[in-house]
Structure 1
Amino acid sequence: MDTLSARLMAPLRYLAALVLMVVVLASAAPAYADGPMGRQFGLGLALGNPTSFTGKYHLGAKQALDFHVGVFHAYGRTRFDDSLFLGGDYLFEVWNFVENGTVSVPFYAGPGAALIFDVDDDYRCYDEGRWRDCGDYDFGLGPRMPIGIGVEFQKAPFELFLELTPTMLIVFHDRYHDDDVSIDLDIPNFALIGRFYF
């Protein structure tokens, strides 16, 4: 198996585990939903950091699970530019600013986890007697804490959110970087999120 295929298999295993976890938790949840129009599951896009496909499953009136599969950007701040990103969060509605028959404006927060993978070996290095493609790190993992405010439409199956997600990553570096481990705190991760509910 070539190097690129091997590097892509590890993230796909994590993605399969994440999808399995969402399916198991969703099937164990009560049949009560509190998403837009009383629907339980939504899919959409997050634009910003990370830019991702995203899903959300409402577990009840004030709790939900969400997940992201996409790209983590650096925007000149860190070395994680264009890394593959997988994330999942357990969200709690902390406060609802507006709630009527037309719209709901919740403030939410909750714990989550992030995985990033360096899939862009962007330079060549001489390692163990041969030239090979090198990157800055192999992968990183750690906790994240999404905090956001949104608009859930009650007469349309759609929601729109603005989210800030401080993220701490334990980063496992490439062999070329002496297999170092470092801790990075990446705070200004903003995303605009839109989801359609089924």
Structure 2
Amino acid sequence: MSKINIIVLLLVFFQSTQAFSEVKENEMEASVSPQTVVPEVSGFNLVVSAGLTSGGETLAKTTDGGSLKAGGLFLMSAGGIYSFENSKFQLQGTFGYHFDELSADNGTADFSRTSIEIIPFYRLSNKFRVGFGYVRAMSVKYSDPFDSINFDDANGYVLEMDWKLRGNSWWGVRYVDIEYLASSINGFDLSGISGIKPVDGSYFGMLFHLAF
């Protein structure tokens, strides 16, 4: 599937969720004043997220200017969010898949990883929340027609700010700080070899969240 097709699917997903969440928004507006900060959801709710990211070191290039970076590009996740009673705090935990690919005449290069995120959020108002949390990247792998590189699991940190759209839907911007250290290349174990430089996988991103 091409990058353009994936972006179109993400946009369709974002648009289709608005009708679902608008009903919740109307219910909230009928009973809550704008000045009152209350939990958007009561107790535990499921949450799905999708978005685009950019950043990190360049892993591959094409002659026409295309590039594959360690911080890109498509991020999808699902999990849960817990809103504490009589509190402005929320705790969100998700499992995600983060990937990108680059196509050329001689083949395709791709970079992928799965991730676990745990983010405590503080709601400054009914329309805005900010969170700082932990990211664990796993099954980190780069491959192209000539090389296959596996990376150790990595720990990182995420800073995110979200704005409410409708009901229980939010869009946000984030920054993730993380590095990946190669563990093997083409099946050759790199353990114990000193001087291997980690790959910077840090990125900025924009995501959409829907709790239900």
TM range (shorter): 0.5 to 0.7
Deviations 1:98-142 (A, max 9, x none): x13xx2x1111111200243363322xxxxxxxxxx32x123311
Which residue of structure 2 aligns with residue 110 of structure 1? Answer: 133
- RMSD between aligned alpha carbons? 2.8
Specify which of 138, 145, 148 is matched with residue 122 of structure 1.
145
* Residue 171 of structure 1: how far off its partner (Å): 1.9
1:168 aligns with 2:179: yes
- Provide the TM-score with structure 2 as the length reference: 0.56
Specify which of 152, 167, 175 is matched with residue 164 of structure 2.
152
* Residue 69 of structure 1: how far off its partner (Å): 0.9
Unaligned residue ranges in structure 2 (runs of 5+) = 1-37, 54-71, 85-89, 103-108
**Measured at CA, do residues 189 and 158 of structure 1 come closer, stay the same or move farther in structure 2, by a change above 3 Å?**
same
Contact 1:35 1:58 in 2 (8 A): no
* Residue 194 of structure 1: how far off its partner (Å): 0.4
> Where do 4+ consecutive residues of structure 1 move more than 3 Å?
34-39
Contact 1:165 1:188 in 2 (8 A): yes
Amino acid at match of 1:166: D
Identity of aligned residues (%): 9
Amino acid at match of 2:144: D
Amino acid at match of 2:154: G
Amino acid at match of 2:198: D
Specify which of 34, 46, 52 is matched with residue 51 of structure 2.
46
1:138 aligns with 2:150: yes
Amino acid at match of 1:47: L
Of 113-122 and 161-170, deviating more is 113-122
Unaligned residue ranges in structure 1 (runs of 5+) = 1-33, 75-80, 124-133
* Residue 66 of structure 1: how far off its partner (Å): 1.9
